[in-house]
Amino acid sequence: MPVLIGILMLMGIVAKNAILLIDFAIEMRARGLERLAAVVEAGHKRAQPIVMTSIAMSAGMLPSALGVGEGGAFRAPMAIAVMGGIIVSTVLSLVVVPSLYLVMDDISRVFGWIFGRVIGQKEPEPESPEAHVLAERIAKGREDLSLMQGRLIALEAALQQKGRPHAAE
């Protein structure tokens, strides 16, 4: 039974590693990086946190794996399963997950092409505004802000004038 608990813990950590890698790769693709370059960059940037987490988890399980303390014999199989799984899954996460992502991306493109012909092409995503449009929006926002500040100053002045007769009494 403790081994099953260890396997459940391991599943969560392996899923976290995959999410770290793929989420970073998707973010890099959204920034305009080519898909293979994005996956390689994700591997470079996320390898250290993944390996550090795995080392910390394995080191944390070491006392339980050695059977130290009360109930050590009960927890040892769980710890051994987690430590072995962490070591193997770390290597696999850094190699297999990015490869599987690229394969699944290819498959989704093929299915998109096949079903796009049957169902129809998906609507194009809205383009981000041009730089001059953003500059105009910022200038308009600054004008609105200065108008609001002017109104606020006028209101504060009016309140102070109304408050002065009461202050003299």
Reported as a single tens digit per residue, the pLDDT across 32-46 is 889 999 999 999 999
CATH assignment of 2-119?
1.20.1640.10
Q: Would you list the domain boundaries of the chain?
A: 2-119, 128-169
Q: Is the pTM above the cut of 0.85?
A: no
Taking the CA atoms of the chain, what radius of gyration do you get in angstroms?
Answer: 29
Write the CA distances from 1 to 34, 69, 135, integer angstroms. Answer: 46, 19, 62
Q: 87-104: per-residue pLDDT in tens?
A: 999 999 999 999 999 999
